Chain A
Amino acid sequence: MNDPILRYTLVERVMHWIAALTYTYVLLTGLAFYSPHLYWIATILGGAPTSRFWHPWLGVVFALAIAWMLRAWLADMRITPDDRRWGQAIQHYVRNEDENLPPIGRFNLGQKQFFWIMFYAAAVLLITGAVLWFPERIPWSLRALRYAAILLHVAAALITIGLFIIHVYMGTAVVRGGFTSIIRGEVSPAWARTHHRLWYDRVTGR
């Protein structure tokens, strides 16, 4: 009855941490080139030419990890009517009044939206990143593509940074137990019941 519940399999955890670590590296090296005030980050990470070399490659690994996530979590990430009801009451979630929230499944609406925006942003970052990687392959007559690519790459990166800040904050500081679950894979039944009631009911067979 009080046995811990498996929330993330080992494979899911590995997948998550590949995405998280590659994202963090790509984020830091990207920021180094984004602003002269942050160029020192590249120095710490082994020098700017090294950072420039690895950013696109680890970006590709990140995009692959996201594609893998899509495959693994597609069913869990579908937005349901339960999520919509939860979304209408989201102010209670923000204010930690969780007792006023309707029950939800494995992920809440915020987590699902985070996933979907990350997914589309990763696609944009991958395509525009390819243009930034080989700008000379874009013929001079199509140079508008180079201009579009740099603007979209930065804009998409900034959107993901905003979400990333919230994601890390929620997972470590606000929802206690969340961070352990993505490392060790397990949550207590009480945690599952409080935060993801419908999922709890499903996995415990109620």
Chain B
Amino acid sequence: MAVRKTDLKWSDVTPKAVFMNRRAVIASGGAALLGLSGGGQRAFAADKLNAAPSRYSTDEKPNTFEEISGYNNFYEFGLDKGDPAKNAHALTTDPWAVQIDGLVDRPGSYDLADILKGQRLEQRIYRHRCVEAWSMVVPWVGFELNALLARVGVQPGARFVAFETLMRPSEMPMQKTSILDWPYREGLRLDEAMHPLAILATGLYDEAMPKQNGAPLRLVVPWKYGFKSIKSIVRITLTADRPQATWNMQAPKEYGFYSNVNPNVDHPRWSQASERRIGGGFFAKRQPTLMFNGYGDEVASLYAGMDLTKEY
């Protein structure tokens, strides 16, 4: 079994058995995996991001790379969970620029390299809870959104942060349809965006982000339903007013602006009281959904005094 020295960092944050297993699989069948992920981008050992461990990581067992990159909601590439892995290879992620504008001191179009410059990449192993009542554990790599906001200088009047996904129908085929109001948009309240748990992720499993997971830059807000964590971001705007959010516009009764994970607020389609953890196989037991996806200690104070059954 070939366990590489450079992977030692991983053993700090991944249960040993899982870690060894993964390496063994990759060592023996890297090419096969490449095929399996359907042309989805798979970084090689040389591209290790060497992210530092973080105290915000859960010690729960992460889902496999294949699960995380093979089971996605990314409607730009298709409606089935397997579609993004099949179709996202068409996405050009280099060059990539992010327009940062609105109420900031240093607005402009920033090259991705510029955005990443000086940011300390961390390994954040987060629970990920989809509004469809399934969940995963994902070892993201990224940096805190507040670090980027600090660099561009947030002006006093700003109260919200708006995000936009790339609009490029030639590479994102579903954007030729009107299944959603493109481009995909999301937003956070400024204090949510400043929270240390909110990260901009550039990879997972210490490797560059697979395209189907939102390469090259995506948001991860682990205490909210997955659709808030917008992928393939090309624009970040600081605003005074609450920005538009795609699913919220589509069906405001179903997808609130906050969309915090909340087992007590019912969704018209899915009971949110419990969830199925992907990867458990056919007879995996459902598990109870935790308030704020288990991040209540960290984030509950953001919502003090709010009626979360109304502001869902």
A and B interact: no
Show the binding face of A for B, using Cβ within 8 Å. Answer: none
